[in-house]
């Protein structure tokens, strides 16, 4: 799939940062800005190119028939959002049970503009004792990749502001929906 992904990026004119995440076996990946369904497709292709097996929490209602098989094959993890359960503990359990884990989050929680990010990704990283890898997508320059690591300091607001500051210079497919 690595070569297929590289070929697709070549065809559509995108360049993925050639530096894969080195030396990191487990992390929470925060991708932004998230303004289009294309973000997931491009991100998944980039993960194939890097040779990284990204995992994604997806509502369990989508895991039926061929769609369920497909979602699991591309890294989907079914979660029950209707029951009162702790998704943080569920995500942390995946980190504990796997030797390598890149769990991907879009902290905006929507493809629309949202200045109030969901903090679940932060609490997962903090509780699992893993870094947050900031990944970006930039439609104007047709580039994307892994940017930098942020280790949770315990001050969620300050660390999230640092991540927003990193991602602010990148523009999504719909720039008016991007990071504040």
Per-residue pLDDT reduced to its tens digit, 59-104: 888 898 999 999 998 888 888 766 556 788 888 999 999 999 999 9
Domain spans in the chain, listed from the N-terminal domain onward: 2-177
Question: Which pTM value belongs to this model?
Answer: 0.86
Does pLDDT of 112 surpass 60? Answer: no
DSSP assignment string, 131-155: PEEEEEEETTTTEEEEEEEE---S-
* The pLDDT of residue 82: 64
Mean pLDDT value of segment 42-54: 89
- Which candidate, 28, 23, 22, places its Cα nearest to that of 95? 28
Does pLDDT of 162 surpass 90? Answer: yes
Does pLDDT of 109 surpass 80? Answer: no
Q: Which residues contact 150 (CB under 8 A, 6 or more apart)?
A: 131, 132, 134, 159, 162, 163, 166
Q: Are strands 101-105 and 143-150 parallel, antiparallel or unpaired?
A: unpaired
* The pLDDT of residue 173: 80
Rounded distance, CA 151 to CA 170, Å?
21
* The pLDDT of residue 8: 94
Does pLDDT of 57 surpass 60? Answer: yes
Q: What is the mean pLDDT of the chain?
A: 86
Quick: pLDDT tens for 121-159: 999 999 999 999 999 999 999 999 999 999 999 999 999
* The pLDDT of residue 116: 73
Q: How confident is the model at residue 40 (pLDDT cuts 50, 70, 90)?
A: confident
- Which candidate, 7, 13, 94, 1, places its Cα nearest to that of 44? 1
CA contacts within 13 A on the Cβ side of 14: 23
Q: Is the previous residue joined to 8 through a cis bond, with omega within 30 degrees of 0?
A: no
């Amino acid at each position: 799939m690595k070569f297929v992904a590289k070929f697709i990026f070549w065809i559509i004119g995108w360049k993925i940062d050639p530096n894969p995440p080195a030396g990191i076996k487990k992390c929470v990946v925060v991708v932004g800005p998230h303004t289009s369904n294309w973000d997931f497709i491009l991100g998944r292709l980039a993960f194939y190119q890097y040779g990284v097996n990204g995992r994604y929490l997806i509502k369990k209602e989508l895991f039926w028939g061929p769609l369920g098989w497909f979602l699991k094959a591309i890294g989907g993890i079914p979660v029950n959002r209707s029951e009162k359960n702790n998704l943080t503990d569920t995500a942390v359990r995946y980190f504990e049970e796997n030797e390598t884990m890149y769990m991907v989050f879009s902290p905006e929680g929507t493809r629309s503009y949202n200045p109030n990010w969901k903090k679940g990704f932060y609490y997962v990283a903090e509780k699992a004792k893993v870094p947050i890898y900031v990944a970006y997508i930039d439609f104007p320059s047709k580039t994307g990749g892994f940017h930098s690591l942020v280790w949770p300091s315990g001050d969620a607001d300050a660390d999230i502001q640092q991540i927003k500051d990193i991602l602010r210079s990148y523009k999504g497919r719909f720039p008016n929906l991007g990071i504040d």
